Structure 1
Amino acid sequence: MRFNLVYGDPFDGITTKPYDYFTLDATFGLSSNQLLITGLHLLGRLWSVPVEVSKGTEMEFGIFQHFNYYDSQPVKDGTSFVPYRISEAASVGPGIIYRFPQVGNLTKLEQRIFVDGILLGGSLTDYYNVIDRDYNMGSGYSVKAVSLMDFGKVACFQIGADYYRIFTWKGYEGKDLATTDPLYLNDQGDKGNASLLVVNARFGLALSNRLKLDFYVSIYWRDTYYSYHDDVRSKTYDLSLGLQYQF
């Protein structure tokens, strides 16, 4: 189940205060082997300025704050392997929103690109398991791009990609963590870096003025490189088909 919220208009030149434009996208897992919240994504505009390009085309350059969270549990019965988990808790950076003029039945064509510095992030670790903790902390960067298309009130299509890279700068080599007082452990985890590439596509077909048939697919690639352990890679995907009600 998904919940989407869009507040404001990025091309509204009147309301340009921080967070006058923001979006929220939450994904809930209803299956027995997944968490209740499997994805949470927030975007808030801190500052922006219009950029003149060509007649009929709108472009907005700004600074945006991001919060992104992806989580998964083992997807195969009988295994404890978790394919991915990553968090972009505190992130900020420049972005461009580009809206093209209407062409035929294509009533909306919009391109968005964001590049961010991750001040505080977290990623799944396959080795650092202390008490209930199975994640690393660190900093890094992310790049996001998405294309949005509306075909009048009949259909819509969206395709995008998110790339995250988080570096954990401090870790232990050959230390038995099970016999170490956790109060004296460093709080970052296993030294190394982790990346997650998410490619997704979404198609909506209008059934009425407010109701749409919604199809969504995502593919996840995780690569985790450890300084003192074997590297781990994973690939998985999810598909969903449902109904979308627009208020």
Structure 2
Amino acid sequence: MNNMKRLLLLVIISVYAAILPAYSQIDTDTLEKADTLSVISSGKLRFQDSHTVSEVVPPDSIDVARYRKKHFWRAAGETVGFNIGLWAFDRYVLDGHYAYISWSTIKENFRHGFEWDDDHLHTNMFDHPYNGSIFFNAGRSNGYNFWQSELFAIGGSAMWEMFMECEYPSTNDIIATPVGGAAIGEVLYRASDLIIDDRASGGERFGRELAAFVVNPMRGLTRIFSGDAWKKRNTPGRNFGIPPISVELSLGGRLLTLWDNDEGTKAGVAAEVNIEYGDKFAETTKAPYDYFTFLLEVQGIKSQPLLSRAEIVGRLLSKEIVDKKDLNLNVGLYQHFDFFDSDTIREERNSSKLFPCAVPYKLGAPASVGGGVMFRYKPLPIMRIDGFLHLNGIALAGILTDFYRDYHRNYNWGSGFSIKAGANLNLWNDRLSLRLANQFYKIYTWNGYDSDFDWSTTPEGKPVNVQGDSSNSSFNHFEASFSYDIWKRLYFTAGFDMYIRNTNYDGLTIRDGGTSTISPHIESKQLGFHLMLTYKF
């Protein structure tokens, strides 16, 4: 590891150790007021044409004041304790080779420095950010705001990478874990905030505490350590009250097929959860995630991953620039977390290396932020149109490759940008609705391996500690759905998805038999169809 990398690492650790305790002494009253009070500006919805789970209730001032009290040593102890507990589980239960640490492995980690790892995309792009949410919520559950809690995520991730594994520290993990962890962590923190109620007792209280623990384990532990889990108060104990929130649950079937290639089809059950939290057209907001959307898609299709899609869009700050009876327009800064996963539909494939990979697409983008515009237009009493447009920079992403294979890795690391746009047409007070949306991602590999690499060599001869193929890739997801209210809040939903991945392998030479192809371009397409019943809570 060169001197610059050593210096960077020491700066990160020093900032975490020295600045964070001082943060607890700084007067951050303005930030904290925004953190708790900007979610709700009134006790009623601005637009009565939206389904909501509950009436809007502002937070109690007593609860807000209590959540401003910071407990640094408890938060730091929880961060360190989680890392030690996870290491012990990996070492003594899973017997993972990476968990056999010693002072020698720790010194070697500092000597060698960071490199790109070869774990599964799911591990690097979802599991590690989830771990980051645990670190994040160690701070969040102990009185720290969103930005301060991110320092706990950075510190917890750095501790794990440098001390808790005998594998070299991972460049991608030190980015994905804290940044993606903040997105997942804040969503889980606010979700758990809706569950707890310190006025409850008996079976209801136990059920609420258990549910909050499952949703947000670190907050559940903090409530146990502090005694809040069984203290009965005259206030609900919520940091944010109950903001406008809508939840949609869809259950049904899904069919997948590859487009342009004779690949057959796969079908099975599928479920989707859609959550919208907060007022998207709040006049001015500075509190991160006072408005966010969360999408989780799971499926039970043979050969396909259980988790096929996860998305978070969290608003960091915003301002409403148009507020009229029939038109609202809001601009803001948003954090994005994106995860798409698929697997082989049919394994029998053309042996040619220039044929698209048997897996159609994979994409993970845990570190993304950009500007966004949201609008609402109601030209007629029976018609409403909601839309959005986001342009984002992506600091870290992983996208499927057709060629590079090493250990569990079948994707290239890179960065780039994304463009997201969509609109919902609602008729007759949401009796009938049509949704159209498109997401486009462009990912560039920063540093590919030697383009003269001979692919006829054994897998053990493939390059390591690289971002992957020298390439640039695009991934486009288009979706359309139609919903009709068949009984109260129960809807029949039909729709389809189109996934298109294009990869240009810049300067890469592929040897296939006696021929060579320079800079190949490969495209794969998949269609998905679904029929579901959707309940809007």
Match of 1:159 among 436, 440, 452: 436
Q: Contact 1:47–1:64 at 8 Å: present in 2 too?
A: yes
Partner of 2:466: 187
Match status 1:49 vs 2:326: no
Q: Contact 2:282–2:320 at 8 Å: present in 1 too?
A: no
Task: Give unmatched runs, 5+ long, in structure 2.
Answer: 1-270, 350-356, 511-519
Deviations 1:171-227 (A, max 9, x none): 122335734486xx2331111111011111011111222211111211111101112
Match of 2:296 among 26, 46, 51: 26
Partner of 1:137: 413
More off after superposition, 138-147 vs 201-210: 201-210
Q: Secondary structure at the match of 2:302?
A: coil
Match of 1:125 among 377, 401, 406: 401
Match status 1:91 vs 2:368: yes
TM-score normalized by the length of structure 1: 0.92
Distance between the aligned counterparts of 1:69 and 1:25, measured in 2?
A: 10
Match status 1:65 vs 2:346: no
More off after superposition, 152-161 vs 57-66: 152-161
More off after superposition, 185-194 vs 74-83: 74-83
Deviations 1:112-152 (A, max 9, x none): 00000001111001111001111111100000000012111
Q: Contact 2:284–2:320 at 8 Å: present in 1 too?
A: no
More off after superposition, 151-160 vs 89-98: 151-160
Displacement of 1:76:
2.8
Match of 2:476 among 180, 185, 197: 197
- Compared CA separation, residues 138 and 14, structure 1 to 2 (3 A): closer
Match status 1:114 vs 2:400: no
TM-score normalized by the length of structure 2: 0.44
Query: Higher helix proportion, which one?
Result: 2
Distance between the aligned counterparts of 2:430 and 2:444, measured in 1?
A: 44
What is the aligned length? 244
Distance between the aligned counterparts of 1:15 and 1:116, measured in 2?
A: 20
Q: Secondary structure at the match of 1:69?
A: strand
Task: Give unmatched runs, 5+ long, in structure 1.
Answer: none
CA-atom RMSD, angstroms? 1.9
Q: Between the two proteins, what is the percent identity of the paired residues?
A: 32
Moved over 4 A (4+): none
Distance between the aligned counterparts of 2:521 and 2:343, measured in 1?
A: 19
Distance between the aligned counterparts of 2:360 and 2:372, measured in 1?
A: 29
- Compared CA separation, residues 54 and 211, structure 1 to 2 (3 A): closer
User: Looking at CA atoms only, which structure, 1 or 2, has the larger radius of gyration?
Assistant: 2
Q: Contact 2:285–2:317 at 8 Å: present in 1 too?
A: no
Displacement of 1:104:
4.2
Match status 1:211 vs 2:490: yes
Displacement of 1:154:
1.1
Match of 1:174 among 452, 455, 464: 452
Q: Contact 1:130–1:177 at 8 Å: present in 2 too?
A: no
Match status 1:231 vs 2:521: yes
Q: Secondary structure at the match of 2:459?
A: helix
Query: Higher strand proportion, which one?
Result: 1
Q: Contact 1:18–1:44 at 8 Å: present in 2 too?
A: yes
